[in-house]
Structure 1
């Protein structure tokens, strides 16, 4: 009996080891600008065991589907149509069997140059941020996955100290908190992070308490991310090349630290873009266009404070967006102006990452979103 028990234990250990080594695949949806060679939104399959990115499909017919998001059940995808005139919100069905998107319908985004989009956690509403128009709109998601006309459009007003970049409001991202109630909207043009309270029954955004959190004048708050513990949030500031850490509590944000994204001796253009946290919550990553790099910070697990770890070249030009794969083993970088996605292997212990030498050609990639294969 004892021998059988030992053999069973060994078998379970062996089985666990085999399963742990089994390849895990995910889809990567790639949003692009279509002003050059891109046809629209591309879908790739990524193997987390080999680091290989394999083409699955492309859907065309939408101009500049730059930023994309998925419904909570991942059966549908939504993109902006980032145009100078009245932009659009576009709906697609997502067939995971074939890894393909099919266009469903399109509605007005309620403003010019929509650059960011997200769904709420119920999957009933999609919210788009209009950079050019300085506004945001909330649209209903109907039973068949299509989007309806906006239930509300909110117009921001004002300006800030940078005359060429902050002459008017520029909404840059929409961020729904884990409670699906607090919605934070960084506005690069007015140096504010607006707060709204989401009414999921009516599809309305009510003014939060406080109505906004002020950023440092001239910083230009852009993208926003929550820590997995739900207690902290971080905002990357495009114009000052900084990241500000916040304590998130009861719908409000309290700044606790601001840290540079660039080496001390750098004197070139400051032009930050994207920000993400590793799945284990131990490291934060921030991208620098012009400097063509991603900066790594260690996160103090008790305080949320950041400590500089490293700065790595992205093997491309203009890292507009990047994504850490769900296993935490790889980082994929969308380099807008070198028309490629570069793949890096990530060290989970140190947070540092190294170029695998793999680069996939995609014209003007500007957004990467993960999806499960099944």
Structure 2
């Protein structure tokens, strides 16, 4: 009998973090409980040893200050206990990324256009060590009226940190001191005007990265320069090339462990785009689109077996589950659906 796994869901509701049980044999999800009440959780991430979880709370005020919150929890017997909570740099904290050493957390504040770093000791977060408030804008008036930090990530060798700024059409590049959690500016990569760079994911080959551009509904395939942490644009992969739906926006990226397949989520027309990838170069070849199983896919993940794809559909408040063919990378045309209030992030152990 296959043991069930505890899966945590970040929910953009007052309930915060929800606990589900996952059965990989049947692809069934069952809600168990509210694991932690933290308002408007947009993102959760495990520590590398799975003993702690870090969360980003997209609120406009915390501790009497106009910021969001980053929080940490100990994980024991599938139960969460909060052990720290700190002010982010600005309001609307939508993401928190963990560096490869597990000693640095880097947050992104969409509403306030800022970022902050935190040092981690035994799962507890320090007060912000470093912060930056961005200035800038872009040509899409209703979405790029100001800077909007959306995502943080780290280079494969952990020497550099990155902050995607959707509002200013760029990725900010920093040198990282993992011992102190200090960041030092090292330039930026600039996207095409109006692209809205939302997320950045590195391919397992260690030299390719994919920048998901929300507003352009397209992915920039980048070459990473190990020497200085910079990027060079190789090509652009269009998710909706005819641009027949102006409300169509790119969202997130999933890469298989072996690097042979890459998946992209798109919203407005709500689909998952499957691609094969050259393991050496990261070059993409389209496989096909599958409906996301709901409205506004916010986040999607492969389960640990990589036999199932789970999609968090924010606006329709459901989790969709699709079978995946590990040989071809194709997703099943139809999947299962489970109720979940405003799911934002799916976290497997």
Q: TM-score normalized by structure 1?
A: 0.87
Partners of 1:175 and 1:339 in 2: CA distance: 27
- For residues 214-249 of structure 1, what are the alpha-carbon distances to aligned partners after superposition, in whole Å with 9 as ceiling and x for unaligned? 111100000111111212110110000001101112
Gaps of 5+ in 2: 61-65
1:263: Cα distance to partner? 5.8
Match of 2:57 among 62, 81, 104: 81
What secondary structure is seen at the aligned counterpart in 2 of 1:304?
Answer: coil
Alignment of 1:38-187 (within 5 A): 39-84=15-60, 85-95=66-76, 97=77, 99-143=78-122, 145-187=123-165
Gaps of 5+ in 1: 1-21
- For residues 184-203 of structure 1, what are the alpha-carbon distances to aligned partners after superposition, in whole Å with 9 as ceiling and x for unaligned? 21110111111111101221
Partners of 1:293 and 1:356 in 2: CA distance: 12
Count of residues paired in the alignment: 342
1:336: Cα distance to partner? 0.5
What secondary structure is seen at the aligned counterpart in 1 of 2:29?
Answer: strand
- Alpha-carbon contact 2:99-2:153 (below 8 Å) kept: no
Match of 1:320 among 298, 302, 327: 298
| 119-128 vs 266-275, which moves further | 266-275
Cα-Cα RMSD = 1.7
Alignment of 1:201-216 (within 5 A): 201-208=179-186, 211-216=187-192
Partners of 1:249 and 1:43 in 2: CA distance: 40
- Alpha-carbon contact 2:94-2:109 (below 8 Å) kept: yes
| 49-58 vs 199-208, which moves further | 49-58
Alignment of 1:280-359 (within 5 A): 280-354=258-332, 357-359=335-337
- Alpha-carbon contact 2:103-2:179 (below 8 Å) kept: no
Partners of 2:179 and 2:154 in 1: CA distance: 16
Match of 1:258 among 214, 217, 236: 236
Which structure shows the bigger proportion of residues in helix conformation?
1
- For residues 231-272 of structure 1, what are the alpha-carbon distances to aligned partners after superposition, in whole Å with 9 as ceiling and x for unaligned? 211011000000110111211211111011126474341221
Partners of 1:169 and 1:124 in 2: CA distance: 27
| 235-244 vs 125-134, which moves further | 125-134
- Alpha-carbon contact 1:32-1:366 (below 8 Å) kept: yes
- Alpha-carbon contact 1:232-1:304 (below 8 Å) kept: yes
- Alpha-carbon contact 1:279-1:327 (below 8 Å) kept: no
- Alpha-carbon contact 1:33-1:65 (below 8 Å) kept: yes
Partners of 1:54 and 1:230 in 2: CA distance: 37
Partners of 1:366 and 1:148 in 2: CA distance: 25
Partners of 2:25 and 2:56 in 1: CA distance: 32
- For residues 44-70 of structure 1, what are the alpha-carbon distances to aligned partners after superposition, in whole Å with 9 as ceiling and x for unaligned? 232323212233432243111111111
Greater Rg over alpha carbons, structure: 1
CA separation of 1:74 and 1:354: change in aligned 2, threshold 3 A: same
- For residues 66-102 of structure 1, what are the alpha-carbon distances to aligned partners after superposition, in whole Å with 9 as ceiling and x for unaligned? 111111111111111101341010111112x2x2211
- Alpha-carbon contact 1:165-1:189 (below 8 Å) kept: yes
- For residues 319-343 of structure 1, what are the alpha-carbon distances to aligned partners after superposition, in whole Å with 9 as ceiling and x for unaligned? 0110011221110000001111010
1:356: Cα distance to partner? 5.5
Partners of 1:212 and 1:327 in 2: CA distance: 36
1:357: Cα distance to partner? 3.9
What secondary structure is seen at the aligned counterpart in 2 of 1:240?
Answer: coil
1:288: Cα distance to partner? 1.1
- Alpha-carbon contact 1:136-1:154 (below 8 Å) kept: yes
1:226 matched residue in structure 2: 202
- Alpha-carbon contact 2:119-2:180 (below 8 Å) kept: no
